[in-house]
Structure 1
Amino acid sequence: EVKKKKKNSFKSVWPSTVNIHNRKDPRNLALNNQPSSWSFQLDGVLHHVSQEEVYARVGRRAVLGALEGYNGTVMCFGQTGAGKTYTMTGSTESYKQRGIIPRALQEVFQQVEKRCEYTFSVHLSYLEIYNETLVDLLSSPRGSSDPPARGMVVMEEPGRGVFIRGLTLHPVHSEGEALNLLFEGEMNRIIGAHALNKNSSRSHCIFTVHIESRSRTLSDAKYVTSKLNLVDLAGSERLGKTGSAGQGLKEAMYINKSLSFLEQAILALADRRRDHVPFRQTKLTYALKDALGGNCNTVLVANIYGEAAQIEETLSTLRFGSRMKRVQTHPTVNEHIDPAQIKKLEKEVQMLKEELSIYHGLVSRQAVRPSNVYEPLSDAQVAEIQSQVRRYLNGTSKEISIISIRQLQEVFAQFKLQAAKVKAQLCQTYNLVEKKQNARSAGVKVIME
């Protein structure tokens, strides 16, 4: 049983069903003809559980998938004051009360330390959508003298998917650096107060962890990227309950409008007969296009009240969750090819072809076992090559006998060594001549004086 208040009850049958019963009031005849019981099929119910268990059940799978190259999204949806921000970021009062985002950052860097066979680069971004305006929460603090980032646009490219042009990406190398950026972004968020929540989020926020990994052991040109979106949606509001007015009323209208379009997009995605999905109606739905119906592992957390007074909003949230459950995504590993690495490998292949050509020439010219061509040289063989090189340079020999790749390498090494000796001798001779000339010049000066 989830929660009981007067006039209604909520029951959960783990892991898939939520049953709601609204007790009828015999004094209110107008409402007695309306349904009083509802049942919703979901993937699970979390009630009276720790933040640690919430992360384990909701967020951990998406985080581990992101480290393997799969895009992931964890999104909180529900009415204002239902606990979405607490679920995502947690409370600063206690370390145990930290939410999904801090725990996800901890998990990412713990896994990076464990996976020694890969090199990882991690970047963070923090986007706010306020009154249909894109705001970079990590660009500059509100109220500072720095101008805000302009020209931010939601864009889409083949092979890259949806991204925000102009949104800053910040490299991080530890959990501490990542948490500092998270707290900086939280300080820049817009919040307000109303009857249901004294710290109500007045905007939608998308905290994204960008991950790139490359193999340390394989010399191929492939690398893997992924995005982990952690989304705190602003809560839907019934103006009669929140009492919003002025700027708060304007914000509530934008919030409700964008959430309404989000529901329309979900309805279209859940209906397989629909060919068109209206993603571009708002910046929120366009920014979440991949997360809602594309290349992504997506988890929706539906935050609800248990009070009878909020039953209409609770039903609306659960309907949204059951529709979202019918949406199918198609996650795949985001594998890419590095052009610079391809050029490097092509150069190595060309060098190996040339070496193989020399090998075949040596084997065909003399009766040499193939295994001997690459065997290391003995001290006696090195001494013999040194003698041959000296005779060749002195003019007493016209050729040097080479029957293996190792001998060829040693011949060039000896040439390089002899060149260095000649250079040193020339420098020494030049210095002696220069000293004599300087001494003579000094002697002439003394005589002239």
Structure 2
Amino acid sequence: MSESTKSGASALMPEIIERLETLVRIPSVAFPGFDPEPVRRMGEAVVELFEAAGAAGVRLLDVPGGYPCVYADLPGPEGSPTVMLYAHYDVQPAPASQGWQSEPFEPVTKDDGRIYGRGAADDKSGLVIHYGTLKLLGPDRPCHVKILVEGEEETISHLEDFVEANPDLFGCDVAVIADIGPQAVGRPGLTTALRGDVACTLTVRTLANPVHSGMFGGAAPDAMTAMIRILDTLHDANGDTTIPGVDSGHWDGAAMDESVYRDGSAILPGVEFLGTGSLSDRIWMKPSVTVLGMDLPNTAEASNVLLPEVTAKLSMRIIPGSDADAQLEALMAHLRAQRPWNCEVVVEKIKTGHPFAVDESHPAIVAAKDALTDAYGAPVESIGSGASIPLVASLQKVAPSAAIVLWGVEDTEKSRIHASDESVDPREIERMIVAQTEFIQKFAQS
């Protein structure tokens, strides 16, 4: 590892932290129903961020139907490869009901040294990693660099269609996606597989209208009871997802650390894990169905009636190597076949997000692992992720030979992305700035 890279990253850290805190203060929630002004302000702040890093021609590109993306195409030596740096500037909502111990959009550094705030890890950390990388590379970059920062990754994204409609803008030799992380701080991890994410709604109808539960209960079926019976068919007694036609596999990379997983998942003491097989298999190479939400009365508003109709939203994570469309159809066909008491069942598609597996023999992946090893002084773990990044499939379409490098600082153990008290360890940001800068230099030379 270049000592100048290491010392340069260290010298940048006070500024990096200050810039990260400034970005966290902007509540850039792109979900429908939220104020669009902070999201647009955040897009402008990202343009200013990369201009301050020395990037020329940074601009906002209108994405039809959605928020703008930030884009730049920075020149490099003739004949050199092109590296695209990706992150996103929108964040998850941070409702008080999540139980935050500090204000989510007022960053605070606590006694453990971590910076707390919504987006501090996911994914404004990716923005400052890219900022630091560009600062260290300087104007004499060893290769072409493109910047792509999305404004609605956390909600229904419109970027995939935009990328596929403009392949000339997004062609590259390697895409670096700084929107993921290792198992724990100080343990370098390169994500080599992503589960896909397919989703649908399930609506169950049994009655034309609500009726009195005392007068009619016991013979007239209520929709909620029918819904429970259907949902119960999605798992066996062990908790494994068991749906005909849905694929399962085996994980061959680094093992998921059980203590890290238990801490990060916040499983209550005494509560058992779902499923069978290794922990790595269960979270990276086996399918999993989750009921994300359901339309029904809350307990405060519930009255003594039989519910005539209930709708649930379901998400299923699918394994690398599987076909997302086929897996969603298998789920939907299974749901349609479940009709307790001959109830009406309507199943509708929401989305398909494709899984992904890295070619670890690609020169860019080899260079990325070498750079991580140098930056951390520790062996790299090839890990999977249950998260999905839909843009990966679109990048593969416009640049089919490009490698995808998946890394970042969203550690499984403590970062709590999407949850209360999200945080990031600034030491990880510094290490990743070093690793990413070294990677670009190594790849450019190769």
TM-score by length of 1: 0.24
Rg larger in 1 or in 2?
1
